[in-house]
Chain A
Amino acid sequence: MYKLLGYWFALVTLTVILGFTPGAVTAQTSNEDDSSNGGFMEASFAIAAFDSRFVDAPHHFGNVLNLRFNYQWNGFFIEDKGLKGLGLPGIGYNFYSDPAWSFDMYISEVHTSIRVDDSDTINNEQNGLIGINPRKSDNRFGLRATHYINETSALRLLIAPISDLEHHDTHLALWYGKTWQYFNANLYTTFSAQYDNSKTLNYYYGVSDSEASDKFPVYTAGSGITLGAEFGISYPLATDWVLESSIQFTRLPSSAHNSPIVDPKIESIAQISIVYVLF
């Protein structure tokens, strides 16, 4: 993580020295307020049903409390997406922004840890993995580009070649999202595709000789693309309160699904939550 922060800090310093600051290149429309400092924070209390990707994981149904926030200051930003995100908050620096495009240098967790004491898991989803060696989370440094197609839809690309693990392959991710209004409810849908090469997928889903057993035979995972889809609805209850619900599916690549540590090919989570908007 410190190595990634070093890369990020060096590049941000260089960018600022070269005068490539968001203030210099921001060209927002008059009614948007993206260039200003500030942010937003929400607390969410959710009832969630979760079907984990891991073998012998119990079907979880319970509550999840989380905090979601985004804060920007002179191009620097920190964000935590709650249930949508993983582990540590993402941090970054926005070095270009116009009405159609936004570019960030970004550090974020792209794969959660496995069998680590502080793994970012829901309930006991990894209890079926006893005997498997721990895998650290994959924190990545990369370039994130967002294209605002119009006021209700956007496309996002993440190219993250630098990892704090022993991998030097590239993590590629593409998202498309759209929102629309139906009376006072706001609906959204997102689709995603994330590519990881064999080094990354084998690190998480391969089974080495040292951990092999009857339950977990030796397995080597190849590269693959993880597909995701999410559909959600938000309904304002009052000026500070929002009722939300969403369902999210993650389809694992065959190389991960065929692993002895994985059971369902599609991981899913459905939730209904009440959100308090702090600011």
Chain B
Amino acid sequence: MTWVSSTFCNICKGISLACLLGLNHHVWADSSLQTTETNKLQIQPNTCVSLHINQACFVNLKMSWRTAKPNNYCLYSSAQDSPLKCWVASNQGVFTQQFSTDNTLHFYLKLEKSSVVIAASALEVSWVYKKQQKSRLSWRLF
């Protein structure tokens, strides 16, 4: 019985790993440019708090990146297809913009005209009041 459960667990782990690698193959496709310690995309802040669930959260984000080798890089967000900004022959950059979102926003640094992700980061959204209740609306008002 123990052997059966252990085998089952290993199969699950294998499937999970395969799924992860499969879903993110474009991230890891180019081993020479993969996300590493030297390729960094940092965002400040990395969490945005709004009052009520499903409300848009507004944040002024500062994104800074650094790579090991100078190249033409572009910064993307999961909210739009076009790049937020591109840099020519650079190995670092800073970009500031205000965003409003009601769910997690992902940011990617890619080589220009390429789908290879050099570095990634995410802005998490959370709420103070996590249940949508009419009673809370009336209770807060009256």
A residues near B (Cβ < 8 Å) are 28, 31-34, 38, 40, 70, 72, 77, 79, 81, 84, 102, 146, 148, 151-152, 154, 156, 175, 177-179, 181, 183-184, 186, 188, 190, 192, 234-242, 277
Question: Quick one: given A148-B137, A154-B141, A190-B141, are A184 and B51 in contact (CB under 8 Å)?
Answer: yes
Q: Is the CB of A236 within 8 A of B128?
A: yes
- Please report B residues at the A interface, Cβ cutoff 8 Å: 48-52, 54-58, 126-129, 131-142
When chains A and B are docked, how far (Å) is the Cα of A235 from the Cα of B142?
18
Instruction: Please name all residues of chain A whose beta carbon is closer than 8 Å to the beta carbon of B134 when the two chains form the complex.
Output: 28, 32, 34, 102, 148, 154
For the complex, give the distance between the alpha carbons of A23 and B59 in Å: 40
Given contacts A186-B52, A236-B128, A240-B128, contact A70 B141 (CB under 8 A): no
Give the docked Cα–Cα distance between A231 and B7 (Å).
63
B140 partner, pick from A38, A146, A156, A188, beta carbons under 8 A: A188
> A13–B3 Cα gap in the complex (Å)?
58
In angstroms, Cα B131 to Cα A21, docked, is 23
- B137 & A151 in contact (Cβ 8 Å cutoff): yes
Closest Cβ–Cβ distance, residue B63 to chain A (whole Å): 19
Kindly list chain A residues whose C-beta atoms are within 8 Å of the C-beta of B133: 32-34
| Closest beta carbon of chain A to B95's beta carbon, Å | 20
Query: Across the interface, do A70 and B139 meet the contact criterion of CB distance under 8 Å?
Result: yes
Flag if A146 contacts B138 (CB, 8 Å).
Answer: yes
Residues on A with C-beta less than 8 A from B131 are: 33, 38, 40
Q: Provide the residues of chain A in CB contact with B128, threshold 8 Å.
A: 236, 239-242, 277
Contacts of A239 in B (CB 8 A): 49, 126-128
Q: How far is the CA of A154 from the CA of B137 in the complex (A)?
A: 8
Pick the contact of A175: B52, B54, B129, B142 (CB < 8 A). B142
Bound Cα distance from A184 to B141, whole angstroms: 18
For the complex, give the distance between the alpha carbons of A192 and B142 in Å: 9
Measured CA separation A72–B135 after assembly (Å) = 10
List residues of chain B with CB within 8 A of the CB of A236.
49-51, 127-128
In Å, the complex CA distance between A38 and B130 comes to 13
Cβ of B141 and Cβ of A175 under 8 Å apart? Answer: yes
Q: Collect the chain B residues with CB atoms within 8 Å of residue A148's CB.
A: 134, 137-138
A98 CB to nearest B CB, Å: 10
Contact: A184 with B137, CB < 8 Å? no
B140: shortest Cβ distance to chain A, in Å? 7
When C-beta atoms are compared, the residue in chain B nearest to A176 turns out to be B141
On whether the beta carbons of A181 and B55 are closer than 8 Å, the reply is yes
B51: which of A32, A79, A152, A234 is its contact (CB, 8 Å)? Answer: A234
In addition to A181-B56, A188-B141, A235-B51, 13 A-B residue pairs with Cβ atoms within 8 Å of each other are: A33-B132, A40-B131, A81-B142, A146-B138, A152-B137, A156-B138, A179-B137, A183-B58, A184-B57, A234-B51, A236-B127, A237-B49, A240-B128
